[in-house]
């Protein structure tokens, strides 16, 4: 779409701005929805593939993410594929119980009965994991064409293109619409200024909250140091008295 068809937002009055935002928001929200959906599925697949090779798994162990990734994977499996999950848990539990029960009788027999439980658990977990991955790949495959369509709609929306690129996201437009509806802004410059003031205040509040948390942690450790110092002083005084 040519630039000649894009209105100059700086010259719009309040009603024109409201109309522009009303046209741009659905297009933008639709794009952001498919974008986030595709991003989530890509991230999910990347997390699942991190344990595919021993090299990747060792890197995960070094970074400390392996345990968390395994816990998240089991939690997803329990919610989405409870049959396979509990079947796998049952196989593992049965193998361990038989192993412990027969350990005193014969270690070899106990070990032989443990192996089927481990293998059965692995089979059920692996089956569920493959199914989860296949479903995620299917969702991603179905989402990408819709994402392309949503992006094309954004590129063809004269209302959205009239808005400066730094503000082309739904949160900004929603906040500016509220400013216009409440008559706290009447022009584009007023919208942008009020919005930037709000964002600046939110950043300062976030920094202040983070600083307060650090102060609380520092105060806690300082109190512990003071307690230890007083205890050491009392102990030293008692020790000195005992030497008299």
pLDDT at 99: 86
Whether 145 maps to a domain, the answer reads yes
pLDDT at 113: 81
> Is the same domain home to 27 and 123?
yes
Final residue before a domain boundary, out of 170, 186, 202: 186
Whether 159 maps to a domain, the answer reads yes
pLDDT at 3: 44
Tell me how far apart the terminal alpha carbons of the chain are, to the nearest angstrom: 96
> Is the same domain home to 177 and 202?
no
pLDDT at 1: 40
> Is the same domain home to 85 and 21?
yes
In this prediction the pTM is 0.65
Q: How far apart are CA 181 and CA 221, in angstroms?
A: 49
Nearest to 29 by CA among 117, 219, 160: 160
Q: 159-178: string of b/e by CB count within 10 Å (b at 16+)?
A: bbbbbeeebbebebbeebbe
pLDDT at 149: 95
Domain that holds residue 213: 190-244
Q: pLDDT in tens for each of the 244 residues of the chain?
A: 444 357 789 999 999 999 999 999 999 999 999 999 998 888 878 776 665 555 555 565 565 565 666 677 777 788 888 888 888 888 888 888 888 888 888 888 888 888 888 888 888 888 888 888 888 889 889 999 999 999 999 999 999 999 999 999 899 999 999 999 999 999 999 999 999 999 898 888 887 777 777 667 666 656 665 565 555 555 555 454 455 5
Nearest to 74 by CA among 37, 113, 48: 48
CB 32 within 8 A of CB 169: yes
pLDDT at 229: 56
pLDDT at 228: 57
> Is the same domain home to 115 and 128?
yes
């Amino acid at each position: 779409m040519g630039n000649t068809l894009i209105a100059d937002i700086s010259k719009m009055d309040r009603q024109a701005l409201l109309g522009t935002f009303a046209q741009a928001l659905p297009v933008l929200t639709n794009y952001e929805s498919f974008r986030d959906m595709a991003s989530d599925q890509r991230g999910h697949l990347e997390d699942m593939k991190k344990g595919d090779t021993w090299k990747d798994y060792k890197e995960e162990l070094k970074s400390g993410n392996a345990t968390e990734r395994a816990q998240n994977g089991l939690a997803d499996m329990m919610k989405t594929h409870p049959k396979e999950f509990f079947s796998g848990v049952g196989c593992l539990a049965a193998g361990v119980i038989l192993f412990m029960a027969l350990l005193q009788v014969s270690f070899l027999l106990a070990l032989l009965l443990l192996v089927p439980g481990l293998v059965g658990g692995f089979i059920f977990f692996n089956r569920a994991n493959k199914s989860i991955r296949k479903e995620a790949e299917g969702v991603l495959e179905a989402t990408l064409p819709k994402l392309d369509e949503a992006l094309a709609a954004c590129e063809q929306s004269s209302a959205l293109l009239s808005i400066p690129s730094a503000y082309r996201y739904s949160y900004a437009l929603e906040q500016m619409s509220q400013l216009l509806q409440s008559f706290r802004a009447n022009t584009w410059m007023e919208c942008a200024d009020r919005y930037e003031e709000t964002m600046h205040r939110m950043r300062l509040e976030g920094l202040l909250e983070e600083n307060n948390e650090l102060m609380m942690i520092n105060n806690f450790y300082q109190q512990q140091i003071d307690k230890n110092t007083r205890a050491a002083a009392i102990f030293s005084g008692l020790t000195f008295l005992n030497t008299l």
